[in-house]
A and B are shown apart, each in its own frame.
Chain A
C-alpha cells in the first residue's frame, strides 16, 4: 500500500483553479447555514418556551417534538422533505429550500434543549428579585432571565452552529451549489478525488476554526462583567 501511495501521481496543481469554484460553494454554504441557524434559533426558542409553559398540551407537544427531531438524522429528513413531502403536497422544493427547512426544524430541537438547560441554570433568586419588584412574566423573561440564560447558552449554541455548517454538506446529494456539491462536480471533472476532498476538508476546517475563534471573542465580551 505504501508503495502505491508513493507511486501515485498527485495532482496538486489543480488546486489553484479549483479554489475559485470552491469559493462560490463556500458562499452558498455560509448563506444556507446562516439562514438555518437564525431560523432555528428563533424556532428553538419558541419550542423551549412551550416546553416550559404551564399548559400541559404545549409542554408535552414540545417534549415529543424535541425527542422526535433529536432522533432523526439530517440526511433522512432532507430526503423525506425533498422527495416525500414534496410529492405528498405536490410542491417542488429546490434543494436549498429543502435544506433550509430540514436544517431549521432539526436544529430547533437541539436549540430548544440548549435554551431549556441554560434558562434552568439561571439563579432562581433572580426570579424572586424580579417578582418582588413587580415584574410581569414577559418583562421578567426578556429583561432579567433571558439575557443571563443566553450567556450560559452561548458556547453550546456556537457548537450547534458549527454542526449546522458541517451538516449542510448533505445538500450535495440533492443539489450541486454548496461547497460539497461543487467539490463533487470538480471531482468528476478533474478525476482527482483525493486532492479535492482533502482540499474541501481544509475548507470546512477553516470555516469552523474561524467561527469558533470569533465566538470566543464574542463570549469574552459578553461575559466581561458577569461571572
Chain B
C-alpha cells in the first residue's frame, strides 16, 4: 500500500503484494522537516514524504548523503519531530505540528503517547551510543527497568536472553570501552530488542564498522528479518538490500524518487537519478 512520491519522482504503482491497511504497521504522511527554519541558511531536509511499512516487511532506504534518509527515521520515532505531517503507528496517529501552542496538559499527554510510540519502536544507531558508564548487561536492562518498570532480576534475565541471541553472552560484565565496534553494535541491537518492539529502525548501522565486522551485523539483521520483525533499514550495503529487503526506497534531496520491490529496483531502476546513484556505488 505504498503512496506516491512527490511530483518530481517517477511514481511506481504498488504492484508488490501489498497487504490491506489492517496489516500496515507504520505510516508517515506529508512529512516535512526543515533545519534552521526561517533563517537564511534554512535547509528543507524532508519534502512531502509519504512512507508506509507493513507487518513483517523489510523496507530498505538508500540514497546519497544528505538525502534525508536518517532524518526520515528520526521523524518516525520523533527524535526529530516532523514540522508538518503525521505518523500513524499501530493505529495511533501523532503529529508535532501544533506542538508549540499546546497547553501544558496537552503537552504532557503528547509526551506520554510519544513515549508509548518509542517503547514499541527500536532504533540502532551508526555510532552505537551505548551508555559508557554501565556494563553491557545493564545497558540492555536499563530501559526495561526504568521505562517498562520491570523488576531488576526480571530485566536482567531478559537482557541476558537478548544478549545470548546476538552472541554476546560472554561479555555481560564488560564495559562498552572494552568492546570492538562489532560487539558494541550487537549490544546495541540487543538493547533495542529487549523492549520487544514491533518495529526496528536501523540507521546505517554498519557504516562505522571495520569491513571484517560488517558481515556479522548483517547476519544478525537477516536473522531478525527471518524471524518476522518489521524493519526499516537505512544502508549502503546493496547485497543486504537485495537478499533481505522486501521493498526499497531511493531518496534524493529530501524526496522519495523511486520505490518498489527491492530486487526489481536494484536490477532495473526506472528513474535516471536512481540509475546514476546505483551506477556510482555498485
Contacts and interface: CB of A to CB of B under 8 A. Distances in A.
A/B touching: CB–CB < 8 A: yes
B266 interface: no
B132 interface: yes
A139 B125 CA distance: 20
B197 to A, nearest CB: 9
A1 interface: no
A13 to B, nearest CB: 54
Given A125-B125, A126-B131, A226-B132, A131 B142 contact: no
Interface on chain A toward B: helix, strand, loop, or mixed SS?
A: helix
A33 to B, nearest CB: 28
A144 B138 CA distance: 12
A137 B131 CA distance: 16
Interface residues on A, range: 20 to 34
A148 B133 CA distance: 7
Given A129-B131, A133-B191, A226 B177 contact: yes
A56 to B, nearest CB: 13
B182 to A, nearest CB: 18
B129 A134 contact: no
Interface residues of B, number: 30
A47 to B, nearest CB: 23
A135 interface: yes
Nearest to B191: A133
A129 B147 contact: no
Contacts of B177: 225-227
Nearest to A132: B123
Nearest to B117: A134
Interface of A: 123, 125-126, 128-129, 131-137, 139, 143-144, 147-148, 151, 225-227
